[in-house]
Amino acid sequence: MPFITQSSIQEVIDKMDAVAVIGDYVRLENRSGRFMGLCPFHNEKTPSFSVNPDLKLYHCFGCGKGGTALNFIMEMDKLTFPEAVETLAKRFGVALQYEAGGNVETDKNAAKTEALFDLYSRVAGSFHYLLAKTPPGKPALTYTLSRGFSYEMVEKFKLGYAPADREWLFKFLSKKGYSEEFLAESALFARKHPRMSFFADRLIFPINDRQGRTIAFGGRLLSGDGPKYLNTPETVLYKKGQTLFAVDAALPEIKKTKEVYVAEGYMDVMALHQAGVTNAVAPLGTAFTDEQARLLRRFAERVNLIFDSDDAGQTAAVKAILTCRRNGLVAHVVTPGKAAQAGRQNESEGADAAALKKVINIKDPADILKEFGKEVLKNCVKSVILDMDYLIVRSKELYNTNVSEGKFKAAAFVFPYLETLDSDVVRDAALGQLADALRTDREAVRNDYNNRRTNAFSRRSATGTPQDQRPHNVPLRMNEELFLLAVVAVNDSFYSQFRARLSIEEIEDPAAKDIFIALEECFVHDETGLDALLPRISSENARKFIVERGVTTEFSSNPEQLISDGIKRIKQKRIERRSAKIVTELRLIEGNQNKDENTYRSAALDDELLLEKMHIDAELRKLKENKE
């Protein structure tokens, strides 16, 4: 494909709203012109991630990550540079112009990624057609509707059907022009039998990314032997621990409410959406991961966990609570069976005990939808329990707290949760709540908890676990040359004036020289902005320095004066150093004048140095009088 013209790239950068772009991934708060939020690249509970809207820069003072807003979207969505430019161009209404010639999109990885997106889109459409419009798909459609789902839900989630004939998909795609080699790498076929579809006679759930692009599939077995559910193996598009089912459908409501429901499976999520709870998502065959929590944290503050009421589901709920708290999310737990009873009581006070017991024993949202309908399910999710309260109840279910050993085990069950809390005040209150619930001495529980922490620290120290995770790169130390070049870098419209007044030979700091050279290259190629400059700076530390300081306002206030004063100081110090050197040389000459053989030569050199000293003194006077 052809190159995007530099003028188009610059137009996209000029029109791009960095706060809006980054705000799609991070909740930002305006703090006196600087936008702050929780970093999406590492776990933190106090915001250290900053965005400068004028320079379109971001920087995290916690982990050191930083760059331009264009870099940010490339990293977050795993896009190539042209893909990021095209994505932003669509968003901000820029009609891109292209040049003839090659482009990095011709790179094999980029081409393969694009081809996979196209393939998965085609397959999703074909599976959906088979389910909705053909006789072989009718049993799968009938099964779906029998579970209480409307046809609108089938369309919303683009459910599909994979035929029982395992060679059907290969034959179909081959006729569409796909090569056998490409299909073998698509993760749609068995590794050992590349013509045999990974899915056969299954109800298909397309798995989409945040942009709504299909990146994988899940399949529910309809008949015969085999695992009840299968997911596409991981590909360049799909990492199951970083993806959530229905995230694209749920995001609008999550952003609106700052709240998300996390259920266990495809059917549970669809049931919640059917009941009007459209901010529901699910992990994909794994436990709820830190990466998934960080993804949700960009948009939500609170997570409501809806897991099966059996032991496996409750164990998963405990792990998910810790994951939420570790990543700065407040967690609540919905227990569907118990909540179903509460949601049903108003309209079923005359129900017999057997019917009520049936409601209580229902395990998950999909079953509640099937047995009692969407209104009951909607009421169910309103009944939540705070994570700390839930853990205390769960600990009492697991251990006999009528005896001291049981109380100790119940307390220890809750201790990992306490370690995720970042407030000593909140932790102390939770310790008190735990002790009161177990009917034991508060100080005793506090001592047990502190002993646990001490022992854990000792084990880490003994095994040599590193305590300091800071980056190994030593940051640059501020000096006048670095400061001046950084000011010019973030205010490059002044570069032509700057280069006319100061030459690179007058710069001594290596990092500052590196920035100067990059600025000159941009000037020669008629390119502006940090997106053009940063890649040309060879020193990683210099790039980080500009980004880190650029997100502050220290380089943006009256930049013309900062540059003028900086040039003056550098010239003045350079001249002063030369003046001091001349003085030293003159003293050496004076000491040698008693030696006859050097007298004539020393006198001549003395005159030359004195003339230079006079010239330097005149230059210094001009600088001090602002007559450079």
Tell me the CATH number at 587. Answer: 1.10.860
Same domain, 592 and 568: yes
Same domain, 141 and 32: no
Same domain, 19 and 147: no
How is the beta sheet containing 57-60 ordered, strand by strand? 29-31, 34-37, 49-52, 57-60, 66-68
Do 35 and 53 form a contact (C-beta atoms < 8 A)?
yes
Could you give the residue ranges of the DSSP H alpha helices within 420-509? 424-438, 442-462, 480-490, 495-501
Same domain, 499 and 429: no
Same domain, 94 and 117: no
φ, ψ for residue 303, nearest 5 deg: -120, 130
Total domains, the chain: 4
User: Considering the domain boundaries, does residue 440 fall inside one?
Assistant: yes
List CB contacts of 181: < 8 A, sequence separation 6 or more.
none
User: Considering the domain boundaries, does residue 301 fall inside one?
Assistant: no
The span from the CA of 270 to the CA of 306, in Å, is 13
pLDDT at residue number 312: 85
The span from the CA of 394 to the CA of 410, in Å, is 9
pLDDT at residue number 611: 65
Please give the structure tokens belonging to residue 488.
């010019």
Same domain, 502 and 578: yes
Length of the chain: 628
The span from the CA of 239 to the CA of 234, in Å, is 5
End-of-domain residue from the set 105, 131, 148: 105
| Cβ neighbour number for residue 79 with a 10 Å cutoff | 18
Please give the structure tokens belonging to residue 351.
């129900």
User: Considering the domain boundaries, does residue 182 fall inside one?
Assistant: yes
Same domain, 97 and 118: no
Do 37 and 142 form a contact (C-beta atoms < 8 A)?
no
Q: Which residue has the tokens 């979207």?
A: 73
Which of helix, strand or coil describes residue 205?
A: strand
Same domain, 93 and 188: no
Q: Which residues of the chain have pLDDT under 70?
A: 1-2, 100-110, 336-363, 456-475, 579, 581-583, 585-628
Burial class (CB in 10 A: 0-12, 13-18, 19+), 304: buried
Same domain, 430 and 512: no
User: Considering the domain boundaries, does residue 486 fall inside one?
Assistant: yes
Q: Provide the sign of the torsion angle of the four alpha carbons 193, 194, 195, 200, taken in this order.
A: positive
The span from the CA of 182 to the CA of 490, in Å, is 45
Please report, for residues 15, 27, 530, the alpha-carbon distance to residue 9 in angstroms, rounded to integers and kept in the order given: 10, 27, 12
User: Considering the domain boundaries, does residue 118 fall inside one?
Assistant: yes
- For position 151, which CATH number holds? 3.90.980.10
List CB contacts of 116: < 8 A, sequence separation 6 or more.
186, 235, 236, 237
Domain residue limits at 432: 387-463
Q: Provide the sign of the torsion angle of the four alpha carbons 411, 414, 416, 419, taken in this order.
A: negative
User: Considering the domain boundaries, does residue 80 fall inside one?
Assistant: yes
End-of-domain residue from the set 238, 262, 288: 238
Please report, for residues 50, 70, 198, 410, 487, the alpha-carbon distance to residue 552 in angstroms, rounded to integers and kept in the order given: 8, 18, 52, 49, 11
The span from the CA of 119 to the CA of 503, in Å, is 55
DSSP 236-287: SS--GGG--BTHHHHHHHHHHHSEEEE-SSHHHHHHHHHTT--SEEB-SSSP
User: Considering the domain boundaries, does residue 286 fall inside one?
Assistant: no
pLDDT at residue number 626: 60
The span from the CA of 626 to the CA of 623, in Å, is 5
Helices 442-462 & 424-438 angle (0-180, nearest 10): 120
User: Considering the domain boundaries, does residue 375 fall inside one?
Assistant: no
Please give the structure tokens belonging to residue 111.
């081409």
pLDDT at residue number 356: 43
Please give the structure tokens belonging to residue 202.
């299954």
Same domain, 506 and 615: yes
End-of-domain residue from the set 105, 132, 158: 105
Same domain, 158 and 229: yes
Same domain, 563 and 516: yes
Please report, for residues 508, 563, 568, 598, 622, the alpha-carbon distance to residue 497 in angstroms, rounded to integers and kept in the order given: 20, 10, 14, 47, 19
